[in-house]
Amino acid sequence: MSFTPEFATIAALRLALQNKTVSARELAQQALDNSARQKELNAFVQQDAALTLAQADAADALIAQGKAGPLTGIPIAHKDLFVTKDWQTTACSKMLKGYVSPFDATVVTKLQAAGAVSLGKLNCDEFAMGSRNESSVFGPVRNPWDHTMVPGGSSGGSAAAVAAGLVAGASATDTGGSIRQPAALCGVSGIKPTYGTISRFGIIAYGSSLDQAGPIARNARDLLDLLETMCGFDPQDATSLEFCDDQPNNGARIRQQFEQQQSQQEAQGSQPLKGLRIGVPAQFFGPGLDPVVADAIEAALKTYESLGAERVTVQLPLTELSVPTYYVISPAEASTNLSRFDGVRFGHRASQYTDLNSMISRSRSEGFGPEVVRRILVGTYVLSHGYYDAYYLQAQRVRRMIVDDFQKAFEQCDLILGPVTPALGRKLGATIEDPTTDWLGDVYTLGVSLAGLPAMSIPCGFSNDERPLPIGLQIIGNYFREGQLLAFADRFQQVTDWHQRQPGQQ
């Protein structure tokens, strides 16, 4: 048995399990074998076959009793930012080497309760800081489409594992685009829901007002199955929402919204998207966009127009300012969140020091990698006396203006479409004279995160290289419109096959 192509989706896996074509244990063993064969991808940082197979046996018992749910027996894995009591959680940093949590993150608990079988922990940028998945202490993840290319970050391990068929779905986090960007570069689908709809409890914090968990999978319907389980109010998380537009915050809300959208589309026959207005931001198609990416996005827009949707040009004038705004606010929050890792309360402790101050200083210098140090220093600077008003407070004002810009755009359209990344990615190990140039690659994703809006990436094309690389289409919705986003993406995937293509079969 293999995930590809026979069991390429969660729906196909679920049917095979229900029909006893395959058992959860057989699927789990196959997944473990696949990950061992593709070890060079470096997608996993820790696995434990005994733990995985024990979960699979429990899933088989539920199936035998007729108590299986939509995810029972489905092989998944977790980004190494979600704490787990059975596997180590290191945030891919020397700072947390060997750490095992005494409890599970809420997302981990929910997926395990739904019967999903975890294969272990997935590689990511250190403390989720990066967009190439090269800052991990475990080494870089390789893009399954071309092993010389980065998979995107920070959830590169999650995207690579799904793209390579090692798991059917994976948990991930998105602070400034860390679900959407690696999903785009690896040719899979990923969604960041509205901020507050998924519990942040048990996720190692980077930027508390920006971090949001979400799933990565092969297609929109798989994302729906995962998101439905992951969502929900959690009293353990102060940022968790109890209600979404007067509806209880739970997966049923998203499923219902998706099915309503599907029914409306089906009722309109050959023009299922008639009446839907697609906003296309003029600022997303400037000189910094690679023509290959622009052509793929244009082709996707024409596909949507052929289904009845109307294209509307909208303005997001502060798009370029989202980069400096984000890289003031997120490092400031990181500086605060990571202050706990001092060698006293948490984290690596230096072996040689003279007093408390030198112990903390040496521990942090040894435990954190260069990218994390860079962002901590930036964050500490913008929060310091004399600079707080000039930088941090001003950034928060611009953030409010970015929120307003999106709301003005949604007065003219129902959804916003555009690229996820301005280019196809970078070569692994490429020398960059100015490390902050990587930050410019997030220009299309940062505004969404600053505004707390839901957004997703789906495959919409490939480059024409000898080794074609995937291109992602970003779909942005208004608050609490996750079901609408998924239905819209699913309609595109019903008439295209970009999401069905797999590495090695191009």
Residues with a known catalytic role:
79, 154, 178
* CA-CA-CA-CA dihedral for 2, 4, 6, 8, to nearest 10: 120
The residue assigned the tokens 């490390």 is 435
DSSP states along 445-490: THHHHHHT--EEEEEEEE--SSS--EEEEEEE--TT-HHHHHHHHH
Residues 203-218: b if buried by 16+ CB within 10 A, e if exposed: bbbbbbbbbbbbbbbb
Contacts of 284 (CB under 8 A, 6+ apart): 316, 319, 418, 419, 444
| 192: β partners | 455
> Do the beta carbons of residue 45 and residue 157 sit within 8 Å?
yes
Distance of CA 275 to the CA centre of its chain: 30
- 85 CB-contact burial (10 Å; exposed 0-12 / middle 13-18 / buried 19+): middle
Closest CA to 231 of 210, 209, 256, 206: 256
The residue assigned the tokens 């291109």 is 471
The upper half-sphere exposure of residue 318, i.e. CA atoms within 13 Å in the direction of its Cβ, equals 23
- Give, in order, the Cα–Cα distances in Å from 212 to each of 140, 207, 330, 359, 449: 23, 9, 13, 33, 9
Closest CA to 159 of 181, 130, 135: 181
Integer Cα distance of 298 and 305 in angstroms = 10
